[in-house]
Structures are given as structure tokens and as C-alpha cells.
Structure 1
Amino acid sequence: MPPNIERLWRTFLLTPFKLITVFLHEASHAIACILTCGKVEGIQVHANEGGVTQTRGGAYWIILPAGYLGSSFWGMALILASTKLLTARIAAGCFIAALIIVLFVAKNWTLRGLCIGFIVFIAVIWVLQEKTTVHILRYVILFIGVMNSLFSVYDIYDDLISRRVHSSDAEKFAEVCPCPCNGFGWGVIWGMISFAFLCASLYLGLVILS
């Protein structure tokens, strides 16, 4: 990553939005667990941009890739939702509802603070949208969606391809999946899928706006 972009990426102002991406990553693990009849015992998001979802039961081979791929999917969904005011309102409402639900399973104060902060932030933006001439709800949803998509692709590259963290979801997936791919191979595959989500969201967004 070029130095100027690297400095921008590491700026403090982007930290809450990167943490909300980590939240969506962990929430995707949780959703996959629930959909495969497992139980979510807790979710944590850490200030160092890490996170963990504690689950019991469920289909492990679905839960593991759901983090990165689910995060990419939510990024695409938010980008597309931002193309219309009505869908942006729906996305904002669903986002607030999800943050409220997660408050009951959050296991650390970083995640609780993140949820409360974004509930207030989005609520304020929504009130400004409805009661004043500051109409920025669509752009906020768009920004969160783009950040989520970009950070998901970057996170896959950083965790699964360039550094190959041995405790990563891809390494664990390679252990439970009877396929010839190792963790690096699954990292590449997941990275390509995430990048495809990003490209699809940009293309579809332009089609809707045209």
C-alpha cells in the first residue's frame, strides 16, 4: 500500500468504521452459527481491530468462511442500499436493530461502546435527514458499505495471504474441509469472492443510479 494511502488508512478517524467492519465480520459468524442450529455464546471486538465469536454447535465449515464472505456481502448490501433514500432508511433501521441485539451478547466493553456509539451516530444522522436540510443519510450508509468492502478485501490479504496467520479462519477451514486447498489457497479463493462482491456492488450501484 502506498505511504500516503497507508497513513490515511491508519488515521484515527477511520478506526470506528474499521471496527464496525470487524463487528459485521463477527456478526456474520454468529448468523451462520444460528442458521446451522448452533448457539452463539458471545461476541467480542477489540480495539486492535481483532475480534472473536464464541459458538457452540452448528456447521463449522459454514461458520468459518461466513466472517470474511459475510462482511463482503454486507458491504455490497449497504452500497446498493445507499442508491435510494428509502432503502438507505431501511438499511439504517436494520443496522440500528442489529446493534441493539448485539448489545445483549457482547462480551467486552469495546464492542458495547461501539454499538452504543453507532446507534447514537446513525440516529443523529437520521434525525438530521428528516428534520433539517442536512441530507447525508445515504452518503453515510454508502461510506460504511465501501469501508466494509475495502477492509474485508484488505483483511483477507493481510491475514490469509501476505502473513498467513496460523490461527486464521482459513487455516482452520483447511483443517475441517476435505479439499486439497491449504489456508493460503482458501485465502486466495475468499479474496477473489470478496473482490467480486465489491465489483458487483459498484457495477449494480452505477446501473441503479443511471
Structure 2
Amino acid sequence: MAPTILVPTQARSWLSAAPHVARLSATTSSAVLLSRRDLSVNDAQKVTLGIIAAYIVAIALLWNLPYVRWVLWPFKMLVIAFHEFGHAITCVLTGGHVKSISLDPREGGVTHMQGGRNAVTLPAGYLGSSLIGALLTFAGFNINASKIASIAVGACFLLTLWWGRRDWLTIGTVLAAVGLLVACWFIAHAEALRFVVLFIGVMSSLYSVWDICDDLILRKVNSSDASVFAQRYGGSSQCWGVIWSIISLGFMACGMVAGIAAFPQSAAQQREDSQHFIPTKF
């Protein structure tokens, strides 16, 4: 007769749980390996990251050089429209009413609002435009994602156009932007659209940071979203400007990392996929 072996209750629970622990360990290991694989950068993504770096350098130079800075003027007006859209949409979402949006040829803009929560609507200009920039940067890693992003941007522009329908510069900026996006749909199965969406995304993200630094940290402009926020909720405009700049850069970094993780397709695969997703070509 075989001897009876008594196993303590705690030991029995560990033994019975062992297969589940092993499976959990294997699943965790697979998830770690998957995450590592997803964040590995392939050749197509290296090209995209290189283009982003080139955009950053080009925008930084054109932003500060006399005379040639006017090259960026149409895109500055475009991201200012994003800025004002951020104010407007958060005003509506927090129960307010948007009376109008207008853009200024001297690279400014204003949103006339009634009601809403100022604690949300005031930072929503800078943070909203930088969030849009991060989403466009994310979409810029893939042609089909850029197509979807351009449709969403078009919808945002139509809302902006509705609120700014009495301002000729707003109307002209929005129509020109929509025309550019539509035209890029028909170039090499929208491959050109990806680079335009990527540029607008980088520009929108950096505009928020540089505009905050330019107005609040370097020149210390008295009237700004951050100064009004500081007057109502405490702190200084420079402090809030730094905080919003850090958040904006964080948005941009998250957009890039998410783009690397979500779109591992090669350039050839992207072109192939694009030919079957709302196909267009001249």
C-alpha cells in the first residue's frame, strides 16, 4: 500500500494554480515580445521619422528668418484655425454658444463665445490644436489613416467655416486648406496626402509650443489665453505657458510612438492598401 502524503492546504492551492500561473506568464511574455516588436522601427517608419525631423528643422528656420517666414503664413493661418476651433468646440461641449470666429492677417484669431466653462475653453486653444497636431502626426505614418484624418479635418473646417462665415480670411483659409487636401487625394493614390497631413500635424504641434514661448515666455505679451487663465485661476501666465508647452510636446511624442506601434506596414504595402481604400489617382 502506497504511503499517504499529506499536502498542506496552501501548497495545494499553489499546485492547482500552477498551470494558470504558467499560462499567465506565457501570455505576459508574449505581450512583452509583441510590444517590443510593435515599437521596432522599420524602413518606412525611419523615412517618416526623418521627414518629421526635416519638417521640424525647416519650420524652425522659416519661423525666424526675415522675409522667407512668409512661406509659412498660409499654414500658420491654418493652425490658428485649429486653435480657434479648440476654443469653439469645447465651448459648445460645456454648454456655451459660439457667436463667431475670425482670423487676423497678422497671424491672430479670436473666438467670440457666450457661456461654457472657462477653465476648459481657455486652454483648449493651445492644447486642442496640439492634440489635433498629434493625431495628424499619428495618421501621417500611414496613407489610409491620412485619408481618414483628412475627412475628419474637413469636417472640423466646415464647422469653423460655419462659425466664421462672416470673416473673409477665415473663409479663404478654410477653402484653401480643403482644396489642398482634396487635390492630394488624387496624387499617386493619396501618397502625397500623407506628407501634407504629416506636415500640418507637425506644424500644429510646434505652433502651440512656439506661440506660447513667443508670446508668454520671451515677449511676455499681456493679453493671452494663459494670462486670462492666470487671472481667474491663479499662477502666472508664464507658468501656465510652460505647463501647456510640456503637454503639447507630450501629445506630439505620443502621436509618434502610437504611429510606430499602429502602422508597421512597408511603403509598398501602404501603396497597395491605398489602391483598395477609396481609390483615387490621376
TM-score normalized by the length of structure 2: 0.68
Identity of aligned residues (%): 38
Tell me the CA shift for residue 23 of structure 1. Answer: 0.5
Q: Which amino acid aligns with 2:202?
A: V
Contact kept, 8 Å, 1:72 with 1:149, in 2: the verdict is: yes
Q: 1:109 aligns with which of 155, 163, 168?
A: 168
What residue in structure 1 maps to residue 226 of structure 2? 170
CA distance in 2, matches of 1:95, 1:189: 26
CA distance in 2, matches of 1:65, 1:5: 23
SS of the residue corresponding to residue 105 of structure 2 reads coil
Contact kept, 8 Å, 2:103 with 2:110, in 1: the verdict is: yes
CA distance in 1, matches of 2:135, 2:60: 28
CA distance in 2, matches of 1:209, 1:9: 38
Q: Which amino acid aligns with 1:42?
A: S
What residue in structure 2 maps to residue 145 of structure 1? 201
Matched, 1:199 2:253: yes
Matched, 1:30 2:30: no
CA distance in 2, matches of 1:70, 1:35: 13
Tell me the CA shift for residue 139 of structure 1. Answer: 0.8
What residue in structure 2 maps to residue 155 of structure 1? 211
What residue in structure 1 maps to residue 54 of structure 2? none
Distance 1:17 1:187, change over 3 A: same
Q: Encode CA deviations 1:26-63: one digit per residue, 9 max, x unaligned.
A: 00000110010000000011111100000000001110
Q: Which amino acid aligns with 1:17?
A: F
Equivalences for residues 42-191 of structure 1 within 5 A: 42-106=100-164, 107-130=166-189, 135-177=191-233, 180-191=234-245
CA distance in 2, matches of 1:87, 1:155: 28
Q: Which amino acid aligns with 1:123?
A: V
CA distance in 2, matches of 1:8, 1:143: 21
Q: Which amino acid aligns with 2:183?
A: V
Tell me the CA shift for residue 151 of structure 1. Answer: 1.2
Tell me the CA shift for residue 129 of structure 1. Answer: 4.3
Tell me the CA shift for residue 98 of structure 1. Answer: 1.9
Tell me the CA shift for residue 2 of structure 1. Answer: 8.1
Q: Which amino acid aligns with 1:15?
A: W
Contact kept, 8 Å, 1:129 with 1:137, in 2: the verdict is: no
**RMSD between aligned residues:** 2.1
Distance 1:203 1:10, change over 3 A: farther
Distance 1:149 1:2, change over 3 A: closer
Contact kept, 8 Å, 1:33 with 1:40, in 2: the verdict is: yes
Return 5+ residue gaps in structure 1 as ranges. none
Structure 1 or 2, whichever has the larger Rg, is 2
Tell me the CA shift for residue 8 of structure 1. Answer: 8.1
